[in-house]
Chain A
């Protein structure tokens, strides 16, 4: 069967020969034009004069557009209609597009864009959390607050309290292919846009409005992206809209490709977060209550910040059953790029908060971190326990789980949860956790990584090593799968069988390197009993499959795989019925296996022969397929519901070394055990885990975004912003897949894999913090990113010199 096989990425042969075409690689017709934005040099102010004469007169310039020249509503925001394509006269961050140059070449457009004379009445930019709070610059009317139990009372009553603060930076996507789009004007005034976007339907909608048309006039096509990571969910709208507007105005094909500096200056990044925590715990280290306060700088536009903030709150518990929790989330408006989606989408920030709580708690109590984690874990859910769990609900609605007992027996040991822990396995948002497997996964990874022995060895080594210090860190991850915006949890696909037996597949997801197309093709091939190579994958196209959701939230294969499966099944059932009728047998005796179709014992055909016979019998060999995620509901204002169909899990152990004279550091070894359910393609999934981890470590170590006091991003090129390179990957890197099918009815019982492994990188941060803590008796208070400077400062704090 073609699913579960470690097949290579479908574009592999094209990637390695340079033949894989990205948007900027497609040849343009003669007369095509190139675009560049003129950018605001000021973070906040009002434009008082704009002289674009020199821009217009520059060589090769065909057209220059300002906000006033836009005939329709050109807005790029995915949510709030608060991001005009070009400044409406006010500017809100350094790098905001103010005007659009349309010229004969890319270089001429960029050169001309520098010739503008813009006068701006500057105002003091709002750049810090403190200033935004002072001015009450925020999205929504106030902070979102969710509560489980009574955190205030439980904190007051707790035997022990711990307070702390964790700061974590944002992250530049640094997709190697920058934002790019091309618009081809159509004969009827419609527009064909080829875009590097994770959300073709949103681009289609925004373009349609911007050119005064309906969605059925705008076709958006995406074959592949050179990386997305969330950075092309909403940030691709601007170039797509700009191209369409310019193509409409000139009647010529228009392409826009951001130069790297422009890309980093214009586009949004991961949200940085400050997490304040106030924790109550008992003598055993069991957490009784936490009061979390999240502060995030969202930049100038709402973008996806509400959903990001929500997902951070939804992961504030990570793997831990905390009886009383309050989470307060401030989504602050600042004069910076509009922070946006990035792999994990707030989940990493929320999850990091509670991991730091446990880490800090271990430091102050002197307890073993892993012991504390296990003590506070959700109760393990045994196979098959999940569906029955609701049957044990008490009259009050609380659930008494029996699985704690089973877990203790099965995964045993002093660190396992107490039997019959009288607490419902409920998240702070009221979802019952019915698939928790981190007790077992923790046991396994500790054995695989030889954790206990290595920890002892490191402690001994550190005692003998005055300059270099090593540290080891562990992190568990429980990540909720489904869009919290419920309407996005749907997908469509279009599958066609030609009468020569070849199969073509189109679905609503987009390919950004994650191997989605390959996985979905494997599903379709499996339904027809074919090799995956027999199914051809085509570009995502809003004229083939409408109303697509963004390829994000890790849901690509869950949603589109299931939709494609449903499409294939419709065709297969039609073929079976037709062949059964023809050969005088029942449809359920028709088998699609190994490239052949057997019709009971009456006929044994190749798939091509079967397709040909069905065509002759006038069977419809093309079908759409549709899927909507079942069993989810969510009230984001109340913070209650069942937002996730299931959870994906992972555990990681990282070992690091730091140089206490310079703060330099590196990861020496990493061991990961990750839960992909029944993996549709282990080779692709392990690649996602490796890459996600590397990216997560980058976020927390070397990747530092710096804005100056004028609001100018000073790290806008790879010369100043350091993402991981070959030399940053661990010398020893073991990744293993957990064996176990998804308990939720997903496509072939697989699990989503795009985002969850990103958070495994937190293990490297915790290892660094432990290495700093090995330098002295004090809490090192390391913040992220743990750059060399930050590590050095933490070492000094640990020594009491900070």
Chain B
């Protein structure tokens, strides 16, 4: 099947079987490797992207379901790393191995778009991405700091 996907505001033509997970279309068909494979069953969150403004796991999301949707990946958060979360993530040394962090950032960005002043509890509920390095304390701190900055 041929699909036109809108990814980070740009149209992309891909030819893929309808059940192909979006993750594989991004990584293998389009070479956008910032989004990661972690578990393949929508649990770990390494593959989190935004679909029409929702943070969703892309590893079990068929490409057929997202044709026509507005897709945003880590490459579209800010390629120069100028998003407030990206800047704080570097400054506060959040990432260790970094592998889960593109998904973590996409989840965090979406949370702040919905909730300009999230509590710890809000963060726990919405950031259900797994990080085996255990960067959670800094993820929480960086989200709080970003929220403060974004609120001005």
A176 & B137 in contact (Cβ 8 Å cutoff): no
Query: Which of A225, A227, A512, A683 counts the most chain B CB atoms within 10 A?
Result: A227
CB within 8 Å of B: which of A467-492?
Answer: none
Q: Please name 30 pairs of A and B residues whose Cβ atoms are closer than 8 Å in the assembled complex, sorted by A.
A: A8-B93, A9-B93, A12-B93, A16-B81, A16-B101, A17-B74, A17-B86, A18-B33, A22-B99, A173-B132, A174-B130, A175-B99, A176-B97, A177-B38, A177-B99, A225-B97, A226-B98, A226-B100, A227-B99, A227-B132, A229-B132, A259-B40, A260-B38, A260-B40, A687-B93, A690-B138, A691-B96, A717-B41, A718-B39, A724-B136
For the complex formed, measure the closest distance between the CB of B72 and the CB atoms of chain A, giving whole angstroms: 12
A176 & B35 in contact (Cβ 8 Å cutoff): no
Contacts of A726 in B (CB 8 A): 123-124, 127-129, 136, 139-140
B43 & A717 in contact (Cβ 8 Å cutoff): yes
B86 & A16 in contact (Cβ 8 Å cutoff): yes
CB within 8 Å of A: which of B50-80?
Answer: 73-75, 77-80
Chain A contributes a number of interface residues (CB within 8 A of B) equal to 60
B74 & A18 in contact (Cβ 8 Å cutoff): yes
CB within 8 Å of B: which of A16-71?
Answer: 16-22, 24-25, 27
A12 & B95 in contact (Cβ 8 Å cutoff): yes
CB within 8 Å of B: which of A136-194?
Answer: 173-178
B131 sits at the interface (CB 8 A): yes
- Interface digits, B10-24 against A, CB 8 Å rule (1 contact, 0 not)? 000000000000000
Contacts of B91 in A (CB 8 A): 8
For the complex formed, measure the closest distance between the CB of A673 and the CB atoms of chain B, giving whole angstroms: 16
A226 & B90 in contact (Cβ 8 Å cutoff): no
Closest residue of B by beta carbon distance from A728: B136
A729 & B98 in contact (Cβ 8 Å cutoff): no
Given contacts A177-B38, A718-B44, A726-B123, 4 further A-B contacts (CB under 8 A): A9-B95, A12-B90, A226-B100, A725-B130
B105 sits at the interface (CB 8 A): yes
Contacts of B38 in A (CB 8 A): 176-177, 260
Contact partner of B125 (CB less than 8 A), chosen from A11, A225, A727, is A727
Contacts of B75 in A (CB 8 A): 17-18
CB within 8 Å of A: which of B103-152?
Answer: 105, 120, 123-125, 127-140
B133 & A227 in contact (Cβ 8 Å cutoff): yes
Contacts of B102 in A (CB 8 A): 15-16, 18
4 nearest CB pairs, A to B: A18-B34, A513-B97, A226-B99, A694-B134
| Residues in chain B within 8 A of chain A (CB atoms) | 27, 31-41, 43-44, 46, 73-75, 77-81, 85-86, 89-91, 93, 95-102, 105, 120, 123-125, 127-140
Q: How far is the CA of A20 from the CA of B39 in the complex (A)?
A: 19
Contacts of B139 in A (CB 8 A): 726
Contacts of A176 in B (CB 8 A): 36, 38, 44, 46, 97, 99-100, 130-132
Closest residue of B by beta carbon distance from A691: B134
A17 & B81 in contact (Cβ 8 Å cutoff): yes
Contacts of B100 in A (CB 8 A): 176, 226
A731 sits at the interface (CB 8 A): yes
A514 & B96 in contact (Cβ 8 Å cutoff): yes
B39 & A260 in contact (Cβ 8 Å cutoff): yes
A561 sits at the interface (CB 8 A): no
Query: Which of B85, B132, B137 counts the most chain A CB atoms within 10 A?
Result: B132
For the complex formed, measure the closest distance between the CB of B75 and the CB atoms of chain A, giving whole angstroms: 6
For the complex formed, measure the closest distance between the CB of A467 and the CB atoms of chain B, giving whole angstroms: 21
Q: How far is the CA of A790 from the CA of B104 in the complex (A)?
A: 31
B136 & A694 in contact (Cβ 8 Å cutoff): yes
Q: How far is the CA of A25 from the CA of B73 in the complex (A)?
A: 15
Q: How far is the CA of A738 from the CA of B10 in the complex (A)?
A: 51
Closest residue of A by beta carbon distance from B37: A24
A125 sits at the interface (CB 8 A): no
A-B pair count, CB < 8 Å, reads 170
Closest residue of A by beta carbon distance from B44: A718
Contacts of B27 in A (CB 8 A): 25
- Interface digits, A687-713 against B, CB 8 Å rule (1 contact, 0 not)? 110111111000000000000000000
Q: How far is the CA of A729 from the CA of B143 in the complex (A)?
A: 15
For the complex formed, measure the closest distance between the CB of B132 and the CB atoms of chain A, giving whole angstroms: 5
B133 & A691 in contact (Cβ 8 Å cutoff): yes
B93 & A724 in contact (Cβ 8 Å cutoff): no
CB within 8 Å of B: which of A634-683?
Answer: 683
Contacts of B35 in A (CB 8 A): 18
Interface of B is mostly: loop
Q: How far is the CA of A16 from the CA of B100 in the complex (A)?
A: 10
Contact partner of A174 (CB less than 8 A), chosen from B34, B37, B132, is B132
| Residues in chain A within 8 A of chain B (CB atoms) | 6, 8-9, 11-22, 24-25, 27, 173-178, 224-229, 257, 259-261, 512-515, 683-684, 687-688, 690-695, 717-719, 723-729, 731, 733
Q: How far is the CA of A19 from the CA of B43 in the complex (A)?
A: 23
A14 & B138 in contact (Cβ 8 Å cutoff): no
A226 & B136 in contact (Cβ 8 Å cutoff): no
Q: How far is the CA of A30 from the CA of B14 in the complex (A)?
A: 18
B89 & A12 in contact (Cβ 8 Å cutoff): yes
Q: How far is the CA of A228 from the CA of B135 in the complex (A)?
A: 15
For the complex formed, measure the closest distance between the CB of B24 and the CB atoms of chain A, giving whole angstroms: 8
B34 & A6 in contact (Cβ 8 Å cutoff): no
Contacts of B39 in A (CB 8 A): 260, 717-718
For the complex formed, measure the closest distance between the CB of A708 and the CB atoms of chain B, giving whole angstroms: 20
Query: Which of A177, A224, A515, A683 counts the most chain B CB atoms within 10 A?
Result: A177
Contact partner of A16 (CB less than 8 A), chosen from B44, B89, B96, is B89
Query: Which of B41, B93, B128, B139 counts the most chain A CB atoms within 10 A?
Result: B93
B136 & A11 in contact (Cβ 8 Å cutoff): no
Q: How far is the CA of A714 from the CA of B51 in the complex (A)?
A: 33
Contacts of A725 in B (CB 8 A): 124, 128-130, 136
B140 & A729 in contact (Cβ 8 Å cutoff): yes
Contacts of B78 in A (CB 8 A): 17
Closest residue of B by beta carbon distance from A17: B81
Q: How far is the CA of A731 from the CA of B40 in the complex (A)?
A: 30
A687 & B74 in contact (Cβ 8 Å cutoff): no
Query: Which of B34, B35, B73 counts the most chain A CB atoms within 10 A?
Result: B34
Q: How far is the CA of A239 from the CA of B132 in the complex (A)?
A: 22
Q: How far is the CA of A11 from the CA of B63 in the complex (A)?
A: 31
Contacts of B46 in A (CB 8 A): 176
Q: How far is the CA of A320 from the CA of B85 in the complex (A)?
A: 45
Contacts of B140 in A (CB 8 A): 726, 729
Q: How far is the CA of A510 from the CA of B88 in the complex (A)?
A: 26
Q: How far is the CA of A176 from the CA of B103 in the complex (A)?
A: 11
For the complex formed, measure the closest distance between the CB of B96 and the CB atoms of chain A, giving whole angstroms: 4
Q: How far is the CA of A727 from the CA of B128 in the complex (A)?
A: 8
For the complex formed, measure the closest distance between the CB of B115 and the CB atoms of chain A, giving whole angstroms: 15
Evaluate whether A227 and B74 lie within 8 angstroms (CB atoms) in the complex, with A176-B44, A726-B139 already known: no
Q: How far is the CA of A259 from the CA of B105 in the complex (A)?
A: 24
Closest residue of B by beta carbon distance from A729: B136
Contacts of B129 in A (CB 8 A): 725-726
Closest residue of B by beta carbon distance from A684: B93
A175 & B89 in contact (Cβ 8 Å cutoff): no
Evaluate whether A8 and B98 lie within 8 angstroms (CB atoms) in the complex, with A13-B81, A259-B40, A725-B130 already known: no
For the complex formed, measure the closest distance between the CB of A684 and the CB atoms of chain B, giving whole angstroms: 7
A14 & B98 in contact (Cβ 8 Å cutoff): yes
Contacts of A6 in B (CB 8 A): 93
Q: How far is the CA of A522 from the CA of B98 in the complex (A)?
A: 20
For the complex formed, measure the closest distance between the CB of B137 and the CB atoms of chain A, giving whole angstroms: 5
Q: How far is the CA of A134 from the CA of B82 in the complex (A)?
A: 63
Closest residue of B by beta carbon distance from A757: B134
Q: How far is the CA of A12 from the CA of B77 in the complex (A)?
A: 15
For the complex formed, measure the closest distance between the CB of A438 and the CB atoms of chain B, giving whole angstroms: 24
Evaluate whether A175 and B132 lie within 8 angstroms (CB atoms) in the complex, with A260-B38, A726-B123 already known: yes
Q: How far is the CA of A228 from the CA of B96 in the complex (A)?
A: 11
Contact partner of A177 (CB less than 8 A), chosen from B41, B97, B136, is B97
Q: How far is the CA of A9 from the CA of B97 in the complex (A)?
A: 10
Contacts of B120 in A (CB 8 A): 731
Closest residue of B by beta carbon distance from A511: B97
Contact partner of B96 (CB less than 8 A), chosen from A259, A515, A728, is A515
Contacts of B95 in A (CB 8 A): 9, 11-12, 15-16, 513
